[in-house]
Homo-oligomer: A and B are copies of this chain.
Amino acid sequence: MAYKEKYPSKLLEEAVDAISSLPGVGRRSALRLALHLLKQPQENVHHFTAAIDHLRDDVKYCRHCMMISDDDVCAICSDRSRDKRTICVVESVRDVMSIENTGQYHGVYHVLGGIISPINGVGPSDITVKQLVSRVAALVSPEALFEADAPGLEPNPGEVILALSGDVEGETTAFYIYRQIAQYGVKVSSLARGLGFGDDLEYADELTLGRSIINRQIFKP
């Protein structure tokens, strides 16, 4: 918006500048929010800003999976019931939360913290691929394999699930990671693509429908 409002106060203008720097918040909404905050009790506003400062200053990242955490190791990585030999690779913290909310996954995660995107200047060294490769190497180390091969159980070489988005950047990143970890002999999988539950055949795009036919599954009534 080229047009800039005249503000009655420099302090108000600075607050609007700050709030409108958030993604998806225009200057008009920012003004509305600033005037809302101005009407709140002072301690509520301090609580609001303290919560944000506190998050930025004190949050930690799990040293195994790079997930946001209050401790050095996140709740998922320190949960003994989670399968440490299955690593689900995701782009962001939000993806972990989405998968956790399904309740269907019992392995651990690896948060890349971004996606390889030459157009946005994000290369492999800007995301946590190196840490992932170390984790995969540790997974197939003789000691880890010895532990995994408990008597009476099948040998488990470990699995890396590439849960990245289906666009060009996601596919590029998945391919790059695959090339880095294939040598270790772990199983590498990616998310099933196909029609969503409740999706109408008529409105599905050709690529998705085509994949759904190729990857059709045995009908289980």
Contact = CB atoms under 8 A, between A and B. Distances in A.
Contacts of A180: none
Interface string A35-65: 1111010101111111111111111000000
Interface in A85-116: 92-94, 96-97, 100-101
Contacts of A35: 92-94
In the complex, which range does the number of interface residues on chain A fall in? 35 or more
A53 B45 contact: yes
Interface of A: 5-12, 14-15, 17-19, 21-24, 29, 31-38, 40, 42, 44-59, 67-70, 74-76, 92-94, 96-97, 100-101
Given A22-B33, A33-B22, A45-B56, A8 B51 contact: no
Contacts of A93: 8, 35
A75 B8 contact: yes
A55 B37 contact: yes
A31 B97 CA distance: 11
A69 B9 contact: yes
Given A8-B97, A11-B58, A49-B49, 4 more contacts: A5-B101, A15-B55, A35-B93, A48-B52
Nearest to A8: B68
Contacts of A6: 97, 100-101
A39 B46 CA distance: 22
Nearest to A103: B6
A26 to B, nearest CB: 12
Given A5-B101, A11-B58, A97-B7, A17 B53 contact: no
A45 B19 CA distance: 11
11 contacts: A9-B59, A11-B59, A14-B55, A15-B52, A18-B47, A21-B44, A23-B33, A38-B55, A38-B59, A45-B52, A46-B56
